[in-house]
Structure 1
Amino acid sequence: MEPLLRVEIEEAGYEAGKPKIKQVSLEVMPGKLTGLIGPNGAGKSTTLKAILGLIPEIKADVRFADGHGKYAYVPEHPVFYDTLTLWEHMSLAAAVYGIDDAEFQRSGGELLEKFRMTGVRNHLPGGFSKGMRQKMMLMIGFLLKPEVYIVDEPFIGLDPRATKDFLGLLEEERSRGAGVLMCTHVLDTAERICDDFILMADGRVAAKGTLHDIRLAAGLPEAPLFDCFDVLT
């Protein structure tokens, strides 16, 4: 099975001659959820930005399946227009990605219901809580039904019910073959839902693979991910 996303980063950074990350390689496979984990400053966000082409100084080979992979990026900090309602944000995304209007009306309505946001459909996100804004970003991502999801800290601001809704939708997307690269600090949830991990420290990959592989690298064959994280970083 071919990866949906293959990344080989020799180095990347924000200033010439000052790389923030080096020798980072990863793959996202169909139907799999890869967790990108590591302490603050490890290079996780820089890695995501390098994949998305948002880093000025980069030596890397980033390849999506068939050379034209469709992906959705859900940022840690919600981005929105002050003058557009929630539904207008979703409609704009649908128009940009060429989603048929009938399909948008159906799937957009379903997402509003699943995230319990129907009541604020025509409200401006400037008045939303952080969690509601995060829900908006997630809904826009799910609306696109991409081959690859790149998600940065999706659990920040979400209450337990919204987290459950998000994980349920993510499982549906994986069942149809979508792959997910998810950066998160919520290690107990990551241990439960991720198929494999990229553990970063000091701008490099400290360990990678399944939880079994991470445990072997840490020398802790029965330990939870948190303890392995502590040893390896």
Structure 2
Amino acid sequence: MEVLKVNLKNAGYYDKKDAIKDIHFSILSGGLVGLIGPNGAGKSTIIKSILGLMEDVDGDVTMGQGSKYAYIPEHPTYYDELTLWEHIELAKAVNEIEGDGYYQEAEKLLTIFRLTAEKHQYPGSFSKGMQQKLMIIIALLIKPKLYIVDEPFIGLDPKAIKDFINLLKEEQRSGAGILMSTHVLDTAEKMCDRFLLINYGNIIARGTMEEIRGQSVSDGSLMDCFYELTVNDHG
């Protein structure tokens, strides 16, 4: 089942309306797709177009019927006047989640990410990594059909990265579809089923790791393929 279908002829900004061009892909239930590309390639524009945050979009984005999504941004966003626990309570109310199991799951995730002692503190006093953990916890609590994850590993310590990967894999096994943009290519290669390689606003390669190797004429790692494909691509 498709949880996301993207058909964008072009999208961009007032001074560059075709920052991305001919972006077509879908994500299936239980699929994990890596969105890979250098800085300025168009990854953020693609994500913003999916989220409905771009004004100039020629195309359409369709989420599966009844699909609820969670977005984990590169830069954590939070309410200065709410504590960590109040953010968790707010997410429950906004998403109309019933039952006490939600709070039990929240306590479990706070323990995993070592934030139990900070549950009644304000995120503004947290490190970037702690703020990112809050974004991850809220996304996991929502239990969406689709995760849109933008550079999730920045600021996280190695244990938190490992825990997050394991939890994301659990969600994938439960049928969630995941779109993950990241620069951490060795981790992406191990995690993702399929890849979209973006450069100069275009998809320059797509598919499984084997298919990416075939398109790059390289038998190496995702990093090797990424280098081969982008160094010879001039838009």
Amino acid at match of 1:189: T
Conservation of the 8 A alpha-carbon contact between 1:91 and 1:104: no
Give the aligned partner of residue 101 of structure 2.
Answer: 103
SS at match of 1:4: strand
TM-score by length of 2: 0.95
Q: How does 1:35-50 map to 2 (within 5 A)?
A: 35-50=34-49
TM-score by length of 1: 0.96
Displaced runs of 4+ in structure 1, greater than 3 A?
Answer: none
- Which consecutive residues of structure 2, in runs of 5 or more, have no partner in the other structure? 231-235
**Number of corresponding residues:** 230
Give 1:101 deviation, angstroms. Answer: 4.6
Give the aligned partner of residue 229 of structure 1.
Answer: 226
Give 1:31 deviation, angstroms. Answer: 1.1
Give the aligned partner of residue 79 of structure 2.
Answer: 81
1:43-101 per-residue CA deviation (whole Å, 9 max, x = no partner) reads 000000000100000011211112x3110011100001111110101110110000125
Amino acid at match of 1:83: E
Alignment partners' CA distance in 2, 1:192 and 1:108: 28
**Percent identity, aligned pairs only?**
51
Conservation of the 8 A alpha-carbon contact between 1:74 and 1:137: yes
Alignment partners' CA distance in 2, 1:226 and 1:15: 33
Amino acid at match of 2:119: R
Amino acid at match of 1:226: M
Amino acid at match of 1:56: E
Give the aligned partner of residue 55 of structure 1.
Answer: 54
Conservation of the 8 A alpha-carbon contact between 1:33 and 1:196: yes
SS at match of 2:2: coil
Alignment partners' CA distance in 1, 2:44 and 2:206: 17
Alignment partners' CA distance in 2, 1:29 and 1:106: 29
Conservation of the 8 A alpha-carbon contact between 2:10 and 2:17: no
1:167-213 per-residue CA deviation (whole Å, 9 max, x = no partner) reads 11101111110010000000000011100000000000000000111
Matched, 1:124 2:122: yes
Give 1:103 deviation, angstroms. Answer: 2.4
Give the CA RMSD over aligned residues.
1.0
Amino acid at match of 1:4: V
Conservation of the 8 A alpha-carbon contact between 1:74 and 1:152: yes
Q: How does 1:185-204 map to 2 (within 5 A)?
A: 185-204=183-202
Give 1:16 deviation, angstroms. Answer: 6.6
Give 1:116 deviation, angstroms. Answer: 1.3
Matched, 1:157 2:151: no
SS at match of 2:186: helix
Conservation of the 8 A alpha-carbon contact between 2:196 and 2:207: yes
Give 1:110 deviation, angstroms. Answer: 1.3
Give the aligned partner of residue 31 of structure 2.
Answer: 32
Amino acid at match of 1:11: N
Alignment partners' CA distance in 1, 2:132 and 2:125: 13
